[in-house]
Amino acid sequence: MALRPLSHIAGAWDARWDDATGLYEPEEDSFAEDLNFVIETIASMPRPVKYHDDEDVLAENLLRELRWPIQKKGGRWIGADYAAMLEQGSFSDYGQKRLLSAATGRAHAALDFGQVHFDGMEEGHMNMLAQLIVIILYHRYNTMTSLFRDKAWAEST
């Protein structure tokens, strides 16, 4: 899985899959360990009743807290990039609970359609799930709950 949007934090952004362990290979300057943790968390969470409700709360945070010029029309948020809305709206999402619920809902929706592998998902759904995971990793890093450790961190301890 490519984590290129986080390349400004972690230089090793192209996580490599290990067939033997069934996990992404941990490596220095990489979010691979966090990615494994987030995937396991999503897999262990119960199916949310309406995962779009969690995404709506994050978008509504932008209206209330940051006054973004966005609005919901016909079940869709318009006025800004959807992933950017979720990222910016989730700064107050303690423990990334709503982000994790949204990602879990999207994973369950894919399974409902027989899409059992990430690469086999419908493209739009796959892209949104990938963006949610990247946003979760980003916020884990910002809240210091990440497993990511770069060389500078290791040298400082």
Beta strands in the chain (DSSP E): 17-18, 23-24, 71-73, 76-78
Q: What is the pTM of this model?
A: 0.88
Mean pLDDT of the chain: 88
Q: Where does the pLDDT of residue 99 fall: very low under 50, low under 70, confident under 90, or very high at 90 and above?
A: very high
Query: How many domains, the chain?
Result: 1
Question: Residue 102's closest CA among 72, 134, 80?
Answer: 134
- Looking at this protein, which amino acid is placed at residue 91? F
| High-pLDDT (> 70) share of the chain, % | 93
Structure tokens, 134 = 């990247």
- What does the pLDDT read at residue 91? 92
Question: Residue 75's closest CA among 103, 46, 50?
Answer: 50
Range of the domain at 126: 4-156
Between the alpha carbon of residue 135 and those of residues 67, 96, 140, 156, the distances in Å are 21, 9, 9, 26
